[in-house]
Amino acid sequence: MLTAEEKKEIVAEFPRYEQKRAVCVEALKIVQRHRGWVSDDTLSEVAEFLKMSPAELDAVATFYNLIFRKPVGKHIILVCDSVSCWIMGYEHIRQHLQDRLGILLGETSADGLFTLLPIVCLGACDQAPAMMIDDRLYGNLDPVKIDEILSTYR
């Protein structure tokens, strides 16, 4: 069941859109913020609330790669793999993150703390190589800086 708070937040989005169903991406983000990810049951509840079919909403959820359809870690690391970051050492940065976390891209660390995902340009090319952890941007990365950053989340 969607909580009263989740429903309230979704309803608050309605005035911004002509149709209820147009709120679907925001609604998925809202429930994901509360639950960490969007399970099949949750997706069905949101679809029903927006008068959509689960298949329609699942198609939307699948299109947006930042809507998580399986459990993720407490923190999401998005490491930029676009051109400026490639030039400035993305591969080295990605490898260091993978080694430190003991996971590959798309996986979650054994302690459940981090999920590591690739992302297109974060709009911080002047600070390449760059990554985001949750809503926070980190640039000019090197292995030492990454270790310092990760230690603040442990």
Determine the Cα–Cα distance for residues 128 and 85; give it in Å rounded to an integer.
Answer: 5
Q: Residue 152, exposed/middle/buried by CB under 10 A (0-12, 13-18, 19+)? A: exposed
Of the pair 68, 138, the CB lying nearest ligand FES is at: 138
x/- mask, ligand FES, residues 74-113, rule CB under 6 A, reads: ------x-xxxx----------------------------
Is 11 among the residues that bind ligand FES (CB under 6 A)? no
Is 122 among the residues that bind ligand FES (CB under 6 A)? yes
Give phi and psi for 32, each to the nearest 5: -65, -35
Give phi and psi for 131, each to the nearest 5: -150, 165
Is 23 among the residues that bind ligand FES (CB under 6 A)? no
Residues that bind ligand FES (CB under 6 A): 80, 82-85, 121-122, 124-125, 128, 130
